[in-house]
Amino acid sequence: MKDDVSKVVANVIGSMNESQIQELFETPPDSSMGDLAIPCFQFAKIMHKNPAVIAEEIKDVLEEHKNEFGIDHLEANGAYCNLFFDREKYVKTVLTSIEQDNFGVEKTGAGKTICIDYSSPNIAKNFHVGHLRTTVIGNSLYKIFDKLGYNIVRINHLGDWGTQFGKLIVAYKKWSSKEAVEEKGIEELLDIYVKFNNEAKEHPELMDEARSWFVKMEEGDEDALAIWEWFKEISMIEFERVYKMLGMEFDSYTGESFYREKVPALAVSLKEKGLLIESQGANVIDLSEYDMPPCMITKKDGSSIYHSRDIAAVLYRKEKYDFEKCLYVTGLEQTLHFKQVFKAIELMGNEWYGNLVHIPYGLVSLEGEKLSTRTGNIIYAEDILNEAVKRAKQLIEEKNPGLSDKDNVAKQVGIGAVIFHDLFNQRIKNIDFSWDAVLSFEGTTGPYVQYTNARAGSILRKYGKKLDVDGICYASLTDDVSYELIKTLTGYEKAVKSAAMRYEPSVIARFLVSLSTAFNKFYQECKILKEENESTKVSRLYLVQTVQKIIIEGCSLLGIQCPEEM
């Protein structure tokens, strides 16, 4: 309809194209003011007429097409031309579209590949709350772009290389043992790492030993690499446990270590291009012209650094996957790092550098309480997830003790609540984590959306029969409350596309809250199972079923499961 209307308006205006006109369209705050509004202020500048006069002219022209466009009537109200849709046609169009397998979302990414680099925890360290943000944001973006038809490569770029492993080897040889590591696992590795950093303050020569061991790793020393591989295996067991809780998988665990052997060739290429200079013994790319510090490629001892390994990774991914875009979901504090890396790719003559996107996010703080902080103020993701499941189980015991499969529902609600709380907020904002807010069954929370889905499912189960879709009476869904719910449903495709364009899963989370609110109003004000007219009852049940489909689908795009009962 918008396409048809914009063509007509473009003919009236004369010097604006259809897409420019569509950008001006507005949705009135309630249906009494129309379903679509065309503001005429900008047209007045072009046509040198009063906007109210232009609104009348547009109304008169659209009147000739209202039947074919699905418009019931039009009103010129001041500077606005307001369109009132033919509700029955509109309802049928919307519900028929959603009935399709694609839920009305066009596959715009078919044949294109997107690489998403996210999660990427450091080996020999626990999976902490900071990693939880990159993981849930990255996973949601994967699902969103997959929904749009893109081929997605999920990359877990493990932090498995660098001087910190030299520190760990020194610490292991001085203060630990094979038995201690086998018994305590990653906890022992973290303890000795902390001990190393504390001891190094008093004994700076320990840093020289650490650097020496890292150089041995870079040179392929068997003893150093054997210890490193062992530590990596221990860490992966820890990470996989968290990913299993979150229901996540990756296509590639190729971490920093994979690219170390590619850095010498990268340095040669940069030198040939005249980009590499020596600075205090290290090799760097001078970026002062772009108001950035130098981008280091190799250190004084010739070893690689995360800048050079990331540049090598970009080039490798482009060659291997021929990506349309490569996305990096990391903390806001890494903004400068990626600016340097992307600028280096540009200076190397790669015209596709603009397809590299850093997607930053803010920090997480916990309101009032600390959860199982094993060292300092580090808060571990697994502790938060387990605590969320535990508290969800307690709520179930209080509200619905007879619920079947309570453990699985508690897991879906608890973990879903943590994910939804993260993704409801714009990613760039810092999050203040509060258990009362996260696990509330009211307001802008995951449990509220999940409970709405469970309510819809309960209605359909009580009906107990398969719906006869051929018997739907669309006219019975044109009352104000049903109509507003159906109008809300139409926002789903826009929410998915907007979330992808802005790399912002919060758009979908907020849409789900709006849809849940509209559905609960429909549930309160419209008879469903008690409706005496069978045709109206079936039609309303069909709307319930459609809403449930979209809630389940939308939650899945956030990485959240919906329990059948709560």
Backbone angles phi, psi at 187, to 5 degrees: -65, -40
Task: Name residue 38's beta-bridge partners.
Answer: 81
Nearest to 449 by CA among 395, 377, 516: 516
Per-residue exposure over 286-296, b if at least 16 CB sit within 10 Å of its own CB, e if not: ebeeeeeebbb
Check: CB of residue 556 under 8 Å from CB of residue 449.
Answer: no
Res 202: pLDDT: 93
Res 367: pLDDT: 63
Res 104: pLDDT: 73
CB count, 10 Å around CB of 263?
22
| CA distances, 497 to each of 18, 198, 501, 506 (Å) | 20, 49, 6, 12
Look up residue 462 and give its DSSP letter: H
Check: CB of residue 170 under 8 Å from CB of residue 206.
Answer: yes
Instruction: Say if pTM beats, i.e. exceeds, 0.85.
Output: yes
Residues 6+ apart with CB under 8 A from 377: 370
Nearest to 188 by CA among 235, 118, 248, 127: 235
Tokens of 556: 């899945």
Residue 276, class by beta-carbon neighbours within 10 Å (0-12 exposed, 13-18 middle, 19+ buried)?
Answer: buried
Distance, in Å, from the CA atom of 450 to the CA atom of 456, rounded to the nearest integer, reads 10
Res 300: pLDDT: 87
Look up residue 323 and give its DSSP letter: -
Which three-class secondary structure state does DSSP give residue 157? coil
Distance, in Å, from the CA atom of 438 to the CA atom of 418, rounded to the nearest integer, reads 6
Check: CB of residue 118 under 8 Å from CB of residue 143.
Answer: no
Res 451: pLDDT: 96
Distance, in Å, from the CA atom of 556 to the CA atom of 319, rounded to the nearest integer, reads 31
Tokens of 366: 């916990």
Nearest to 527 by CA among 538, 516, 515: 538
Nearest to 556 by CA among 211, 143, 185, 232: 143
Strands 276-279 and 364-366: unpaired
Nearest to 165 by CA among 231, 223, 219: 231
Tokens of 36: 């679509």
Q: What angle do CA 521, 526, 532 make, to 5 degrees?
A: 165
Q: Give per-10-residue mean pLDDT for the chain (566 aa).
A: 92 91 92 94 94 97 94 96 96 89 83 97 83 95 97 96 92 96 91 92 94 91 95 92 95 93 94 94 95 94 89 98 98 96 98 98 69 51 91 93 94 96 92 79 91 97 90 94 95 95 98 98 97 95 97 98 95
Res 436: pLDDT: 79
Residues 6+ apart with CB under 8 A from 395: 413, 439, 441
